Structure 1
């Protein structure tokens, strides 16, 4: 019986999303630790941070699917897991096991680094994802914005590990101007892009989810304003990213390498292509989610240059 649950549970936590989270945080680690031999932080503790973040994200996916069963029966019956492969009771139990495990890890990290930060941020994430699934996602734009902000915060969470670690040298908060460190520029930029990219993707996803969302009384942008206005909003979000890169980069002389700039430009050029195709063809909207995720992965690779 337990063996039969492994694959459905694995699918339930959405491994692709977990992979992106892990790759993002490891990219920050690579940028700050591997490029600076004088920086020495605990790899074990960073792995624990990766684990706690993944557990909370996985639990968030579970609870979201738990409350979305009625909608998923309409929108994606072939992908329905809860009630079909995993009982609702087991989904709730696993959700709390994952969250409790993440909280234990955060207590350890907070204790070791003499800060309440890890406990606070994990409790905030756990509660936000719960209330998102129950309430926020049904409110127009609010649910999209919350998920986008949480996605954009992931690089900053990894960065905070270096700021709070005494072994991180120049990155430590003891340095009064730690937030101005040139090494952080690329992380700030990617954090903003991750937030905007995910916001566009969440809104596109709402277009595909309209039939099922009606079943659970969700109010989304496409339901209220229609497809044409929704596509215009998504196009505006994608355009802002391109403008930000080309305005902020020269004005503030961001300390990012030439190759990093080109990689970000390629990722945002893909956004431009998505925007053009989406505005020309309504049927393309449902494929835009995958391409937006691809664009995000290309941008993420800039951390490893």
Structure 2
């Protein structure tokens, strides 16, 4: 594959991997927790580096999963003591992210991981960091990592689809019929953490947050069925990556920033033109109601 194709494939995998997880977060009204975890995993990455002295992908995944689950747990603990959810997220998010920044400054200043890299990523270098076996290149490490995490997420969603669906729409009902709501919640948080760190090194936190929230929010405006919502979210993620790449090339701007901007543009268009929930459809419905009652 060409250099350009690897970059587009990486962005598309980020869009699909984060997009399908984002659907469940949107339904659970936990979108801002995705923002928190996408930043606090920096602490997990730095911690994994300090323990293993390596930036190998498996250590990063383990570190991020631990910190991601810890973030969700701390938010839940603070909320259970009476603190509002948004305040709980704000306290945990800023504290853990700041701690990660401090540890980078103190102990990881001589490696390629820094705050700018964490926020914006550097997808242009993805094709050069490859997996090699017996001297043969098998493609970028980021593609293999994202592909593996996507496969794992799809497997878990397939195995626990009914549980994820019910706990997202009606958690009280799920508790009543004996579904382990806490287990499903932390399973989703683990999937979120793995998806975040698999995308983090390549595209940075900004695009990760965009792909976790915007494709799912866009799909939410277009359908009332979860299965279709997952598919639409993945399509929006891929379209954002492809169009965003060519826009970045034309304007000579950040690729990750362009991809996030295209995702926002697609949401804006959907917000206006959605046949059921769009502003135009609501305006027509109100106009028709007024005319019928005139």
TM-score normalised by the chain length of structure 2? 0.27
The higher-RCO structure (CA 8 Å, 6+ apart) is 2
TM-score normalised by the chain length of structure 1? 0.27
